[in-house]
């Protein structure tokens, strides 16, 4: 892995040494140089007994005072040796060693050095020992910095993955950002991500950062079983057949393959390409496997959220369609009542009037006919009321304001409840919005009449700041919200909440026994330039508008 270097840390470490100490360290190097091969063999033997792996032993041997002696004897500066210590320190960290284990290994080397110099003059050994301790201190300080670099890079990588999980708007974006983060962490020259959905039999292929589209090999699905474990793939080896992008074969010196798997549905791999040969160290592999698993789980979560959102949108569209179907059915029933039953009742009333005049000589018959005529007249009025509820013509012809006023006045006359209406002039609104608001007011009034026992109702309907606000408040008996909402037959409240939700609004219901109830609704409104004129409103004649206005005045 290509890690970021921090030359200032190396310079700071070298600056800790005074000129005299540098002289003493070089004296130590001259004294150690002939003994270095023997010391290294004994050191490697001790490390093997302690259970260090060959790679760990090799890296540890390059950060000892003996390794420093070899470089300083060649007249190289101490800072150059500390660069090697930093590099091998990062390597030791990626090999899975803890800092305490490294320090313990260096203490073993110090004991071997002391054993080599046991026959020296006491004063000379004291000077060399002091120089050895100072050099070891610089080595440990540099190793600490190298370990910190590795941990910081790992932390930054997981933080970027976490940010991608939070900020991505879709599964593809999340996987693209995750692939870029892992490629950057490893210093890869190119990256590929392949994900196969076994249920849909589809591939998702992503490529970074060379700009080329991934070219999937024909045997990709067959290779997934062999890619279920991390793989190191080398150029011109049999393992190159495991590369999922056929354009990569022969291009990169080494490639790393990290499996992606989620149950039995998803499988795939992240493959990273390097132009130079890079060993795959244990801690790097561990981080990549864990990060890949997290990325896949996050992408699955995001995909499920997308599916859920799509299904919710589908349900909303279906609900909106059902409301539209309901309104069409209301208009159909309204037309049939008006055209068929209404006309027949008017004709029946006319015939009863004729029969009544013909039967004036018979008082009993005339009285019965007069009663029948009165009943027919009342039936006509009731049908007109039902027609107004089913399909309010005044809403289509004169708009929401006139329709609400007509509704309120009919409610006041029918139920004898005092109604205070606060409704400034409203600008033209989309037809669907006007219809929804009218139905909401209608349902609120119906609930008050049937359940509240109220003597006064306050209705407020205002539009400001792009929001239409409806509030209906009564002084009735009130109710317990939880009980009312839990009733299966409470279709009125559920229908109101559903209508408001479909419009993207907010519905609030407040009530408690003995303190009345209040319904508050907020609906977002389009900008003025986006308002839709009611389709059937513009083409009406002035005569027809005058007739409708007269009817509203009669209701008032």
Closest of 106, 90, 85 to residue 151, by C-alpha? 90
411 and 361 belong to one structural domain: no
* Structural domains of the chain, count: 4
Domain boundary among 391, 408, 434: 391
Residues 423 and 484 both lie in one domain: yes
- Residue 2 in domain: no
Distance, CA of 443 to CA of 470 (rounded, Å)? 12
Does 442 share its domain with 374? no
Same domain, 247 and 143: no
Q: What is the pLDDT of residue 155?
A: 93
In this structure, the answer to whether residues 200 and 123 fall within a common structural domain is no
- For 365-401, b/e burial (b = at least 16 CB within 10 A) is ebeebeebbeebeeebeebeebbbebbbbbbbbbbbb
Strands 418-422 and 266-274: unpaired
Q: Does residue 295 lie in a domain region? A: no
Task: Identify whether residues 427 and 539 lie together within a single domain.
Answer: yes
Whether 109 and 18 map to the same domain: the answer is yes
The dihedral through the CA atoms of 484, 485, 486, 489 has a sign that is positive
Q: How far is CA 193 from CA 188, 215, 271, 441, 448, in A?
A: 13, 11, 6, 55, 61
Q: Which two tokens stand for residue 272?
A: 């990273």
Question: How far is the C-alpha of 109 from the C-alpha of 68, rounded, in Å?
Answer: 13
Q: Residue 547: its pLDDT value, please?
A: 41
Closest CA to 229 of 293, 278, 300: 293
- Are 66 and 117 part of one and the same domain? yes
Domain final residue, candidates 161, 187, 222: 161
CATH number of the domain bearing residue 101: 1.10.490
Rounded Cα distance between 547 and 441, Å, is 24
Give per-residue burial for 67-97: e unless 16+ CB within 10 Å, then b.
bbbbbbeeeeebeebbbbbbbbbbbbbbbbb
Give domain status of residue 297, yes or no.
Answer: no
DSSP per-residue codes, 496-513:
HHHHHHHTT-EEEEEE-T
pLDDT on residue 45: 94
Angstrom distance (rounded) from CA 133 to CA 153: 30
Q: What is the CATH number of the domain that holds 504?
A: 3.30.565.10
Tell me, yes or no, whether 109 and 223 share the same domain.
no
pLDDT at 264: 65
Give yes or no: residues 380 and 474 share one domain. no
pLDDT digits (tens, 9 = 90+) for 19-49: 677 787 888 888 888 888 999 999 999 999 9
User: Where is the domain boundary, 357, 391, 425?
Assistant: 391
What's the pLDDT score for residue 69? 85
| Domain range enclosing 475 | 392-555
Same domain assignment for residues 330 and 341: yes
Q: Does residue 1 sit within a domain?
A: no
In the chain, which residues have pLDDT < 50?
1-8, 11, 531-545, 547-556
Q: What token pair was written down for 474?
A: 């009564």
Q: Are 94 and 279 in contact (CB under 8 A)?
A: no
Instruction: Print burial letters for 460-473: b (CB count within 10 Å at least 16), e (below 16).
Output: ebebeeeebbbbbb
Same domain, yes or no, for 418 and 311? Answer: no
| Residue 22 within a domain | yes
Distance between CA atoms of residues 164 and 531, nearest Å = 38
């Amino acid at each position: 892995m290509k890690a970021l270097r921090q030359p200032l840390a190396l310079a700071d470490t070298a600056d800790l040494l005074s000129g005299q100490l540098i002289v003493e360290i070089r004296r130590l190097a001259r004294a150690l140089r002939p003994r270095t091969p023997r010391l290294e063999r004994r050191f490697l033997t001790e490390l093997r007994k302690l259970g260090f792996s060959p790679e760990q032993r090799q890296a540890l041997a390059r950060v000892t005072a003996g390794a420093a002696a070899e470089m300083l004897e060649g007249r190289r500066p101490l800072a150059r040796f500390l660069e090697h210590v930093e590099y091998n320190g990062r390597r030791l960290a990626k090999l899975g060693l803890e800092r305490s284990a490294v320090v313990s290994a260096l203490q073993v080397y110090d004991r071997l050095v002391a054993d080599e110099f046991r026959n020296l003059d006491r004063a000379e050994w004291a000077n060399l020992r002091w120089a050895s301790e100072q050099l070891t201190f610089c080595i440990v300080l540099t190793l600490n910095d190298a370990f910190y670099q590795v941990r910081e890079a790992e932390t930054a990588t997981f933080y970027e993955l976490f940010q991608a999980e939070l900020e991505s708007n879709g599964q593809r974006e999340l996987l693209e950002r995750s692939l870029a983060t892992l490629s950057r962490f490893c210093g890869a020259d190119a990256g590929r991500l392949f994900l196969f959905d076994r249920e849909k039999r589809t591939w998702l292929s992503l490529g970074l950062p060379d700009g080329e589209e991934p070219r999937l090999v024909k045997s990709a699905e067959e290779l997934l079983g062999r890619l279920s474990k991390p793989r190191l793939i080398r150029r011109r080896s049999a393992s190159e057949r495991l590369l999922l992008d056929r354009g990569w074969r022969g291009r990169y010196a080494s490639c790393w393959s990290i499996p992606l798997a989620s149950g039995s549905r998803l499988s795939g791999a992240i493959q990273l390409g390097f132009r130079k040969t890079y060993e795959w160290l244990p801690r790097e592999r561990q981080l990549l496997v864990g990060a890949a698993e997290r990325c896949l789980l996050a992408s699955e979560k995001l995909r499920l959220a997308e599916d859920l959102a799509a299904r919710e949108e589908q349900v909303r569209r279906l609900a909106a369609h059902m409301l539209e179907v309901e309104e069409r059915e209301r208009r159909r029933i309204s037309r049939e009542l008006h055209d068929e039953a209404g006309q027949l009742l008017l004709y029946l009333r006319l015939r009863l009037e004729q029969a009544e005049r013909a039967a004036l000589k018979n008082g009993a018959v005339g009285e019965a006919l007069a009663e029948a005529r009165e009943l027919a007249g009342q039936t006509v009025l009731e049908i007109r009321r039902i027609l107004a509820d089913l399909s309010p013509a005044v809403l289509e012809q004169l708009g929401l304001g006139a329709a609400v006023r007509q509704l309120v006045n009919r409610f006041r006359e029918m139920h004898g409840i005092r109604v205070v209406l606060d409704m400034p002039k409203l600008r033209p609104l989309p037809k669907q919005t006007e219809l929804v608001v009218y139905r909401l007011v209608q349902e609120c009034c119906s609930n008050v009449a049937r359940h509240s026992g109220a003597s006064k109702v306050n209705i407020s309907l205002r539009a400001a700041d792009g929001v239409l606000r409806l509030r209906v408040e009564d002084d009735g008996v009130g109710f317990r919200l939880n009980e009312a909402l839990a009733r299966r037959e409470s279709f009125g409240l559920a229908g109101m909440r559903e209508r408001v939700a479909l419009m993207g609004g907010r519905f609030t219901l407040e009530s408690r026994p003995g303190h009345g109830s209040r319904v508050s609704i907020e609906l977002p409104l389009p900008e003025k330039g986006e308002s839709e004129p009611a389709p059937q409103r513009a083409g009406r004649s002035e005569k027809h508008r005058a007739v409708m206005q007269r009817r509203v005045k009669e209701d008032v």
